[in-house]
Amino acid sequence: MTPVPQIRPASGAAHSRIHGVGGYRPVRVIPNAEVLTWIDSSDEWIRTRSGITERRWAGPEETVAEMSVQAAGKAIAQAGIDPAQIGGVIVATVTHLKQTPAIATEIALRLGCGTAPAFDISAACAGFGYGLNLADGMIRGGSAEYVLVIGVERLSDLTDKSDRSTAFIFGDGAGAAVVGPSDTPGIGKVIWGSDASQKDVITQTEAWDTAFAKPDGVNGPSEHAEQGMRWPALRMDGQPVFRWAVWEMAKVAQQALDAAGVTADQLGAFIPHQANMRITDAMIKALKLPESVPVARDIAETGNTSAASIPLAMERMLESGEAKSGDLALIIGFGAGLVYAAAVVTLP
């Protein structure tokens, strides 16, 4: 009998790390004063509740693709590589409103990434961490030398300006990272997972087919508007989300530290998803994070940008000098699903 031939195993780099990071923030600034023209609230209430003073909302030309290309261009330049060297494009987003094709394919084409595989993932505010984990596996598995991970959102498209509980929270923007080979570990084990038992605490109000369906089968935004119906929007039950984020995510963050063999006092930065300043403060306390460790607070000027929030905050900390290249940073994202992802990374 002829022996069955063995498949040659894939092999790649021993380790991976982030080589470059970049961000894009829309031009239009929405201060709390403007939000107060939509809802019955106060600047003090918004700041106390979330820590937000302003957020950015995208204009008509600042599409998901355009913001991604701008952020990715900065990350690629910082990494010092040619776009043609990128062997994979992963876009984390919940606001690319076409089911198909993936927006990642358009972004890859516009950047000049050749025939690199390109795909979208939907993991809400944990999307960047999910993408980072996939990129790390692709590089160490040998299927790519460099992978571009983008988190991008136009959450203004799904914000109900009349909803007092969410109208002040969300912002738009894009953050990108180039992940590539490394001689030493630059991305720790990603602790990721989901808790679908709480899937309804953050959700879209209705499915697209329900929102746009008409008895005669004609669908579309214009018909939707003529019916006087609302565009689907995001809804959030704040208290359960707050409790889950504070108690459960602190445990996940500690697991990421333990998996990386790093203690909180060895960190050069803590970069949590920019969901809520009170959540960040509670996690700092739960982790017993030393005051000497800088903490990302990008939410104050950017709002909650979901998948884009971690790379945007990372870029700001590096540009301001608050964090330094080569420092170890603990990142953690969490959101609708409920999903989460945390890891210790070396800053580019």
| Residues designated catalytic | 125, 273, 304
Among 334, 331, 338, 335, CA closest to 317? 331
**Are residues 256 and 223 in contact, defined by beta-carbon separation less than 8 angstroms?**
no
**Are residues 16 and 186 in contact, defined by beta-carbon separation less than 8 angstroms?**
yes
CA–CA separation, 11 and 285 (whole Å): 41
- Angstrom CA distances, 137 to 55, 190, 193, 302, stand at 34, 11, 16, 31
- Angstrom CA distances, 97 to 64, 93, 155, 207, 213, stand at 9, 10, 11, 12, 16
Neighbours of 297 (CB within 10 A): 18
Specify burial of residue 148 (Cβ count, 10 A radius: 0-12, 13-18, 19+).
Answer: buried
**Are residues 152 and 71 in contact, defined by beta-carbon separation less than 8 angstroms?**
yes
CA–CA separation, 127 and 124 (whole Å): 5
End-to-end CA distance of the chain: 54
Angle at 319 between CA 311 and CA 70, to 5 degrees: 55
